[in-house]
Amino acid sequence: MKIKVGFGFDVHQLRSNHTFVLGGVKLDHHSGAYGHSDADVLLHAICDALLGAANLRDIGYHFSNTDDRWKGISSLILLQEVVKLLADKGWGIGNIDAMVCLEAPKINPHIPAMKKHIAEAISISEEDISIKATTNEQMGFIGREEGVVAYAVCLIEKV
């Protein structure tokens, strides 16, 4: 059996009165991540982990922030497109492990919904998706609530 691992990272600015989508879930918060698509930092990190594992470059290569086709698009759609790219090369997803770093809002109550959205979008079990969160202990741009960061690792296997 051939397996590979991938690592992904993403960061977005937080802006007041902007929608905050994380893991495909709209969060109630006074600010939200800003970007070309829906700026879902968690899904972007997962996309990059999957693409990297399959040696398919990165999310910016496939979904340029200068291409109007991706303006405002749900990152769940981008994730589905990434999984199609992997499938075209004969890869399936083993598991995903992700970490989000932000001061607020607390995302623990939303993790089950995030896992559900991701699992449904890419047809894997929720048991194969781990999402964790931490703060930055009020240090740096994350601590000042100026941005949000996500990291993800994945395992893919030849099918």
Annotated binding site, which residues? 10-12, 36-37, 44, 58-60, 63-67, 134-137, 141, 144
Residue-wise DSSP of 41-53: HHHHHHHHHHHHH
Residues annotated as binding site for a divalent metal cation? 10, 12, 44
158, two tokens: 């030849």
